[in-house]
Amino acid sequence: MALVPCQVLRAAILLSYCSILCNYKAIDMPAHQTYGGSWKFLTFIDLVIQAVFFGICVLTDLSSLLTRGNGSQEQERQLKKLISLRDWMMAVLAFPVGVFVVTMFWTIYIYDRELVYPKLLDNFIPAWLNHGMHTTVLPFVLIEMRTTHHQYPSRSCGLAAVCTFAVGYILWVCWIHHVTGVWVYPLLEHLSPGVKIIFFAAVTVIINVFYLVGEVLNNYIWDTQK
């Protein structure tokens, strides 16, 4: 795929995430006024991750165009740092967290939506915004993987980073419950303490599996291209 269309595509995806975030933050929901605000929801955190990631992609594209042919070694070094940051975010955050949010949300939603997205939220969040938060994330990140070869970190470092993110979010959810007495997700209200531990462990394993899927998929796409 040509460079310029890819640039335009990334810029369009970035603008769509900015629009989704602005519309979501403009919603007057009671949950936004409680402890942790929007930051207690993995969906919101993922939206921020995706917006930052595609922002870095756009910045990398612009830097690549500006430094092309000028022979500046310093600018080349800065560009390589941007590319490394872009690739790291794709591998460790954008792909595994994005795929996790989409698959977990719709799996639980189909089983019993009240466990993850109560019908009451339909009064606050329009359907298009719900899909913007929980559906389009997957095709957007797959498009990025298909159009750009991302260099993954070593498997041990990548998995360690993913585990750190997953455990950090789980501790954040537990802390919110400790402070407020309410679980962020209604699903957790129905689980015993022992089952919660198993659930949190399973969630950590799943997000690590998605990291490995991303690594394999990235290598498959670009090995085929070669």
Residue range 85-101, pLDDT digits in tens? 999 999 999 999 999 99
Distance from C-alpha of 156 to C-alpha of 137, rounded to nearest angstrom: 26
Distance from C-alpha of 218 to C-alpha of 224, rounded to nearest angstrom: 10
Residue 34 pLDDT level (bands cut at 50, 70, 90): confident
Task: For residue 20, give both structure tokens.
Answer: 């989704």
DSSP state of 1: -
If you average pLDDT over residues 116-138, what whole number do you get? 91
DSSP state of 116: T
CB under 8 Å to 185, separation ≥6 — which residues?
A: 115, 116, 173
pLDDT of 112 higher than 50: yes
Place of tokens 């870095």: 56
Task: For residue 39, give both structure tokens.
Answer: 């930051």
DSSP state of 69: T
User: What mean pLDDT is reported for the chain?
Assistant: 91
